[in-house]
Amino acid sequence: MFTLRRKKYAQYYLLLNTVFLVALTSALSVHPFDNHFRFTFGVTMLSILLLYFPRLPVITTASLSAVLIMGSRVLFYTVADSDTTLYKSLMLSLPALCYYIIFGLGFQVFRIRSNLRNIPVMILKLSFIDFVSNLVELYFRHTFSISESVGFFTSLVGVAVFRSILTAYGYYALKQYRMFIMAEDRLKRYTQLVMVFAKIKTELYFLQKSSQDIEQVMEESFLLFQELDTLALEFKKINPSSERALKIAKDIHEVKKDYYRVVKGIEDVVTPSAKESGMNISEIFYIIEQNTVRFLNVDTKKIRIIYKYDDDFVTDKHYMLVSILNNLIINAIEVCGEYGVIIVSQIRTGDQVIFSVEDNGHGIPDEDIELIFVPGYSTKYSETTGKMSTGLGLAHVKNLTEMLGGTLRVDSQIGRGTKFSVFLPFSKLFEERPGQGNSGRKLANRELH
């Protein structure tokens, strides 16, 4: 019921706006003869709007426009000339009322809207209706005479054709503008959907990565149980720790099953791209960028991060690369000042691929460089809780780098910043997709604030 009322209100609103707009444009007029007869643009506006809005009732719209135009002219004649009586003003304005009513009837009878696909026919019909309506108005004005008839007819035909052509042009121009607005709106919506989809893929990536981590933790806990159980058998005594390790493995297994169901549900939405085994360096950087944005959104620091890469090759070691770079970037953010700058880059020299994360933080003392990779060692602490960092991030980076057959180098200067460089063999990272060579493509540097 509410929807019907809203539609009805919208219909009335459109009708009133149309009538006022027609009356307003009717003020733009030309007096071709030495009398009160005039050519206006009101009828052109009326025709355009009747064509553009098919839900407008033709007779009602034309009649209301005629009444408003006549009323405005009566008011004008009465105010402009004090000698003009109200009756005389009505008589001067009544022919205009007849014109618009006849025009509306002709528009309806000749079904002008059905000729939108045939422009010449539509122009011909509109010209004829305009011509006849002008004849009716001239008749009521008693303007015909033998000496003036040729001039009248020539003017009427010319203006009728001109206004009909203007109507066709105005209608299609308005339609094209509407299509442009709609296309722009669709593009905006499409862009928003693409961004949402990209964010979902980013979240899915980290869910998939966590799935592998969960699987590995479950296996490690089960292996710990087996080792503890073996020791218990050797010493012929019950070891409570083995039972706890087994319980942890079982609990992780339950978490893993629920986790897999969630990941599978999201994968079904973003299939098939989420199931690709390999990933481009550009995609890896994009995922890291999105993850960093979320991290910075909860931080008060104004960190500027610049991403640069040379070779956009495909690698199936993307989980490990994301872990390495993500840990290094988060570590750099934590040591940067309020307005820090971080540069994340990738270059290739021969058979080596070098990933580096460089910051302008406070730097690392020379005596601490070897210690920062020791599990549990950390100089960072939470300013809100006061708790020290776990010190596992850089140790994890070092382990992953060595697993990929690479090396890690640290260059740091106190007060100027630190640069972590990860040197990896290209042969360990490269995976060639069908139809793609191993030559990378260069992209412009991208900046994230």
Half-sphere exposure for 12 (CA within 13 Å, toward CB): 6
Residue boundaries of the structural domains of the chain = 2-144, 199-275, 279-448
Asked if residue 217 has pLDDT above 60, the reply is yes
Whether 448 contacts 307, CB under 8 Å: yes
Q: What is the largest CA-CA distance in the chain?
A: 133
The pLDDT tens digits of the residues spanning 84-104 come to: 778 888 888 888 899 999 999
**Distance between CA atoms of residues 161 and 124, nearest Å:** 8
CATH pick for 279-448 out of 3.40.630.10, 3.40.50.1820, 3.20.20.60, 3.30.565.10: 3.30.565.10
Q: What is the pLDDT of residue 444?
A: 38
User: What's the burial of 192, exposed, middle or buried (CB within 10 Å: 0-12/13-18/19+)?
Assistant: exposed
Asked if residue 232 has pLDDT above 80, the reply is no
Mean pLDDT of all residues in the chain?
A: 79
State the average pLDDT over residues 37-57.
90
Q: How confident is the model at residue 132 (pLDDT cuts 50, 70, 90)?
A: very high
Cβ partners under 8 Å of residue 393, min gap 6: 327, 330, 331
Say whether 406 sits in a helix, a strand or coil. coil
The pLDDT tens digits of the residues spanning 186-196 come to: 766 755 665 56
What kind and span of H or E run contains 423?
Answer: strand 417-425
pTM: 0.48
Asked if residue 342 has pLDDT above 90, the reply is yes
User: 345 or 380: which carries more pLDDT confidence?
Assistant: 345
Say whether 18 sits in a helix, a strand or coil. helix
State the average pLDDT over residues 119-132.
94
Asked if residue 54 has pLDDT above 80, the reply is yes
The pLDDT tens digits of the residues spanning 192-216 come to: 665 566 557 656 666 777 777 787 7
State the average pLDDT over residues 13-18.
90
Q: How confident is the model at residue 225 (pLDDT cuts 50, 70, 90)?
A: confident
* Percent of the chain residues past pLDDT 90, beyond the cut: 27
Which of 17-26, 141-150, 371-380 comes out lowest in average pLDDT? Answer: 141-150
From residue 93, alpha-carbon distances to 69, 130, 208 in Å are: 8, 18, 78
